[in-house]
Structure 1
Amino acid sequence: MISRLNLNQERVLALAAVVQAAALVHQVASTGQADESASRCSLASLFVTNPDSSEDVFGGAEAINNLRLGLVTLKSIISQDQITGAQEITRYVLGLAHLQGKLRKRPEMLNDISKQLSHSQRQVDLYELVHPNVFASVAETYSSTLSSFHFRIQVTGNPTYLQQPMNTNRVRSYLLAGIRATTLWRQVGGRKWQLVLFKNSYQRELDALLSQLSH
């Protein structure tokens, strides 16, 4: 893949996408709402099948701005700012990394996910990206594949919101987007140990990406 970012910046961008998906899960679970721009970016990434670069997965030239929520949240977490939901978001990120590791060993499941997302793409073509039917279709993909693993990501929040079917579908869709981002993160050399050493390894690259955000 051709990228205008260096390899470490690609890793940070991909990790920010994982964090963004986790932050969206937390938003829906705790408030019943989600950042619309971040939601569109994360959901759209599921339907980018032949990207020329890491940025293309998240909107090409607009990738950094589209991942604003993930980049800002990642900065807050590694700076140990007391942001709301930091503990839950971090737990979701680690859970996504663990789940993606299991998925890598199941090529037939990866194939099933790809086929089902092709069906979801038809829903996008019929309606629009963030239509309830699209969320329902993507959520079904998550439920029929990744939910079969013994390990499950436990989503916590306000039961009033979590019990609403639309929110359940959104949470599962964001989790699948998180798996997509974790897959990309691994493809550009991301590893679990880097999560522990992230602050020392990639602080400069994160700051460089944050400086490119439009205000």
Structure 2
Amino acid sequence: MKKPRAYLSAAHFGPTMLITAIAFILTWNLWWEGPAYVVAFTVFLGQLIIGWSNDIYDYQDDLKHNRTNKPLVAGSLTVAQLRRTTFIFIPIAFIANLLGPLGLQGGSVYMLGVGCGIAYNFYFKFSPLSPLPYAIALAALPASMFYGASRTPLTWMVITGSLLGVSFHFLNVLKDLPQDQESKIGGLPQRLGKGKSLVVVAVLLGLSIAITVNALA
């Protein structure tokens, strides 16, 4: 059981399950319970790739900062094992999403979000445009569910998803902010610092709440 736990941990289990749960709830409301389980599983596959590619790319930096909560640093997995598994799962995730309940349109939109996550890991993390992949990916998530159900995505939900995605990006960075700055990781939160980043989060969350309340009123 240690290996499966290590793979789940390397996939950033908490965020992965959060996105999977959101997909399940959205699909359940748009369709019914049956497709919701399938869509949640296909979304889960995409999130695995994002998390694994992140840990592969960050391995040297995680090692430098002795992040023993990471399976690669702890020795629960090797980089070669995780890389091999990632390459195996990439086509599986694509096929499952494109041929599953989301269909070609919904599956393509969701996999665009997965691509954004991978692009963040390898490039945008070091750029002042670091929030962009989060904004696109979390807008693509609800949009893909609507397209899969042959419905037009609700504008307010797509915008809210985008705002929440950027908020999550800032919050996720804060816990490692000093170490990231030491490693010269120059994403927008690292450039702004903790105080300004918290202000950004507060503003974005406030906007998200206001948009949602107005839409549901």
TM-score, normalization by structure 1:
0.27
1 or 2, which has the higher helix percentage?
2
TM-score, normalization by structure 2:
0.27
Bigger Rg over Cα: 2
